[in-house]
Amino acid sequence: EVVLTQSPGTLSLSPGERASLSCRASQSVSSSNLAWYQQKPGQAPRLLIYFASARATGIPDRFSGSGSGTDFTLTISRLEPEDSAVYYCQQYGTSPKYTFGQGTKLEIK
Protein backbone atom coordinates (compact mmCIF):
# COMPACT_ATOMS: atom_id res chain seq x y z
CA GLU A 1 0.00 0.00 0.00
CA VAL A 2 1.31 3.44 -0.96
CA VAL A 3 1.66 5.83 1.98
CA LEU A 4 1.78 9.57 1.28
CA THR A 5 3.70 11.73 3.75
CA GLN A 6 3.19 15.47 3.57
CA SER A 7 5.50 18.08 4.99
CA PRO A 8 5.63 20.37 6.74
CA GLY A 9 2.68 19.72 9.00
CA THR A 10 2.07 23.46 9.35
CA LEU A 11 3.42 26.32 7.30
CA SER A 12 3.10 29.94 8.33
CA LEU A 13 3.88 32.56 5.71
CA SER A 14 3.04 36.15 4.85
CA PRO A 15 0.97 37.48 1.97
CA GLY A 16 2.99 37.75 -1.21
CA GLU A 17 5.40 34.96 -0.26
CA ARG A 18 5.74 31.59 -1.96
CA ALA A 19 4.69 28.30 -0.36
CA SER A 20 6.16 24.92 -1.20
CA LEU A 21 4.27 21.88 0.08
CA SER A 22 5.83 18.44 -0.19
CA CYS A 23 4.20 15.07 -0.74
CA ARG A 24 6.40 11.97 -0.61
CA ALA A 25 5.20 8.52 -1.56
CA SER A 26 6.46 5.31 0.01
CA GLN A 27 6.82 3.87 -3.49
CA SER A 28 6.80 5.26 -6.99
CA VAL A 29 3.52 6.82 -8.12
CA SER A 30 2.53 7.49 -11.70
CA SER A 31 2.32 11.23 -12.31
CA SER A 32 -1.03 10.55 -13.95
CA ASN A 33 -2.35 9.49 -10.59
CA LEU A 34 -1.33 12.35 -8.27
CA ALA A 35 -3.72 15.14 -7.26
CA TRP A 36 -3.82 18.03 -4.81
CA TYR A 37 -6.85 19.37 -2.94
CA GLN A 38 -7.51 22.48 -0.86
CA GLN A 39 -9.85 22.33 2.13
CA LYS A 40 -10.96 25.39 4.06
CA PRO A 41 -12.58 25.07 7.50
CA GLY A 42 -16.11 23.75 7.32
CA GLN A 43 -15.90 23.18 3.58
CA ALA A 44 -15.49 20.21 1.29
CA PRO A 45 -12.16 19.68 -0.43
CA ARG A 46 -11.63 21.37 -3.77
CA LEU A 47 -9.55 19.86 -6.56
CA LEU A 48 -6.57 22.07 -7.39
CA ILE A 49 -4.15 19.92 -9.39
CA TYR A 50 -4.45 16.61 -11.22
CA PHE A 51 -1.99 14.52 -13.23
CA ALA A 52 0.61 16.03 -10.83
CA SER A 53 0.79 19.34 -12.71
CA ALA A 54 -2.48 20.15 -14.49
CA ARG A 55 -4.64 22.85 -12.93
CA ALA A 56 -8.29 22.05 -12.44
CA THR A 57 -10.94 24.28 -13.92
CA GLY A 58 -11.01 27.74 -12.40
CA ILE A 59 -7.80 27.36 -10.40
CA PRO A 60 -5.55 30.45 -10.67
CA ASP A 61 -2.09 30.07 -12.13
CA ARG A 62 -0.58 30.94 -8.74
CA PHE A 63 -1.07 27.25 -7.99
CA SER A 64 1.30 24.82 -9.67
CA GLY A 65 2.22 21.19 -9.21
CA SER A 66 5.41 19.35 -10.05
CA GLY A 67 7.31 16.18 -9.36
CA SER A 68 7.51 12.56 -10.32
CA GLY A 69 8.26 9.16 -8.88
CA THR A 70 8.06 9.55 -5.11
CA ASP A 71 8.46 13.31 -4.69
CA PHE A 72 5.76 15.81 -5.55
CA THR A 73 5.37 19.50 -4.74
CA LEU A 74 2.52 21.96 -4.69
CA THR A 75 3.73 25.52 -5.08
CA ILE A 76 1.59 28.54 -4.33
CA SER A 77 3.12 31.81 -5.45
CA ARG A 78 2.09 35.29 -4.32
CA LEU A 79 0.18 34.05 -1.30
CA GLU A 80 -3.15 35.66 -0.52
CA PRO A 81 -5.06 35.55 2.79
CA GLU A 82 -7.72 33.29 1.23
CA ASP A 83 -5.08 30.62 0.60
CA SER A 84 -5.24 29.71 4.29
CA ALA A 85 -6.37 26.09 4.25
CA VAL A 86 -5.31 22.50 4.64
CA TYR A 87 -3.83 20.98 1.51
CA TYR A 88 -3.96 17.26 0.75
CA CYS A 89 -2.18 15.20 -1.85
CA GLN A 90 -3.87 12.07 -3.14
CA GLN A 91 -2.75 9.18 -5.28
CA TYR A 92 -4.72 6.68 -7.27
CA GLY A 93 -3.32 3.19 -7.23
CA THR A 94 -4.16 -0.14 -8.72
CA SER A 95 -7.22 -2.12 -7.57
CA PRO A 96 -8.26 0.80 -7.72
CA LYS A 97 -7.43 2.44 -4.41
CA TYR A 98 -7.19 6.08 -3.41
CA THR A 99 -4.81 7.26 -0.70
CA PHE A 100 -4.62 10.72 0.84
CA GLY A 101 -1.74 12.33 2.68
CA GLN A 102 -2.27 13.61 6.21
CA GLY A 103 -2.41 17.21 5.05
CA THR A 104 -0.39 20.42 5.39
CA LYS A 105 -1.97 23.36 7.15
CA LEU A 106 -1.06 26.66 5.52
CA GLU A 107 -1.47 29.77 7.64
CA ILE A 108 -1.20 33.22 6.15
CA LYS A 109 0.03 35.63 8.79
Partner 1 sequence: QVTLRESGPALVKPTQTLTLTCTFSGFSLITPGMSVGWIRQPPGKALEWLARIDWDDDKYYSPSLKTRLTISKDTSKNQVVLTMTNMDPVDTATYYCARLNNPPGAFDVWGQGTKVSVSS
Contact residues for partner 1 (CB under 8 A)? 1, 32-33, 35, 37, 43-47, 50-51, 54, 56-57, 88, 90, 92, 95-103
Closest distance to partner 1 from the beta carbon of 15 (Å): 26
20, 71 Cβ separation under 8 angstroms: no
Nearest residue (CB) to partner 1, 8 versus 16: 8
Closest distance to partner 1 from the beta carbon of 96 (Å): 5
Residues 6+ apart with CB under 8 A from 11: 19, 21, 104, 105, 106, 107
27, 70 Cβ separation under 8 angstroms: yes
Nearest residue (CB) to partner 1, 44 versus 81: 44
CA dist., res. 94 & res. 98, Å (int): 9
CA dist., res. 74 & res. 89, Å (int): 9
Closest distance to partner 1 from the beta carbon of 17 (Å): 25
Nearest residue (CB) to partner 1, 7 versus 100: 100
